Amino acid sequence: MQDRWANFSERPNDFWPGIKYGEGAAGIQAPLIALSDLTAEIEEEQYDVLEMRGPDIEERFVQAQGLRMEAEIERLKMLYDRFEEEYLP
């Protein structure tokens, strides 16, 4: 997730230098910050799911959590695409 975010955040910065460092229009900063926060949240949840493995956790639960995380990642990718369509030329 970190790698995807790093690559994604470079594109807007090409059009609005400094935007990924907190400079620039608030109308573009707000959705970028929201995407950054969501990326971090999903990444943290991914680590939590990976740490669940162990003798006390049922494998079905871990699998269900993994599927949920895959769905969250797909939703995030869709949001990245939507941002690019809306804000990038």
Structural domain boundaries in the chain = 2-87
Q: Are 20 and 32 in contact (CB under 8 A)?
A: yes
**pLDDT for 43-89, tens place per residue?**
888 777 777 666 666 777 777 877 888 888 899 989 999 999 998 87
pLDDT value for 82: 92
Answer whether 0.85 is exceeded by the pTM: no
Q: Are 23 and 32 in contact (CB under 8 A)?
A: no
Is residue 30 pLDDT above 80, yes or no? yes
Is residue 34 pLDDT above 70, yes or no? yes
pLDDT value for 85: 92
pLDDT value for 56: 66
